[in-house]
Chain A
Amino acid sequence: QVQLVQSGAEVKKPGASVKVSCKASGYTFTGYFIHWVRQAPGQGLEWMGWINPNSGGTNFAQKFQGRVTVTRDKSTSTAYMELSTLRSDDTAVYYCARAGDAQFLDYWGQGTLVTVSS
Chain B
Amino acid sequence: DIQMTQSPSSLSASVGDRVTITCRASHSINNYLNWYQQKPGKDPKLLIYAASSLQSGVPSRFGGSGSGTDFALTISSLQPEDFASYYCQQSFSSPFTFGPGTKVDIK
A→B interface (CB under 8 Å)? 35, 37, 44-47, 49, 59, 61-62, 95, 97, 99-100, 102-106, 108-111
Known: A35-B96, A105-B34, A105-B36. A45 touches B44 (CB 8 A): yes
The reply to whether B49 and A108 contact each other, CB–CB distance below 8 Å, is no
A97-B44, A102-B91, A104-B50 known, 6 other contacts, Cβ within 8 Å: A49-B95, A95-B43, A102-B32, A104-B46, A104-B49, A105-B44
Contacts A35-B96, A61-B94, A62-B95 given: A104-B34 contact, CB under 8 Å?
A: yes
Nearest B-chain residue to A96, judged by Cβ = B43
User: Which applies to chain B's interface (DSSP): helix, strand, loop or mixed?
Assistant: loop
Inter-chain contact A100/B43, CB cutoff 8 Å: no
Determine whether the beta carbon of A46 is less than 8 Å from that of B43: no
Which of A47, A49, A106, A110 has a CB less than 8 Å from the CB of B98?
A47
Residues of chain B at interface, number, CB under 8 A: 23
Would you list which residues of chain B between 7 and 62 have a CB under 8 Å from chain A? 32, 34, 36, 38, 43-46, 49-50, 55
Q: How long is the Cα–Cα vector from A108 to B39 in the complex, in angstroms?
A: 13
Number of A-B contacts (CB under 8 A): 59
Contact residues of B with A, CB < 8 Å? 1, 32, 34, 36, 38, 43-46, 49-50, 55, 87, 89, 91, 94-101
Q: Looking at A62, A104, A106, which has the most chain B CB atoms within 10 Å of its CB?
A: A104
Q: How far is B64's CA from A32's CA once the two chains are assembled, in angstroms? A: 24
B31: nearest chain-A partner, CB-CB: A102
Closest CB-CB distance, B15 to chain A, in whole Å? 26
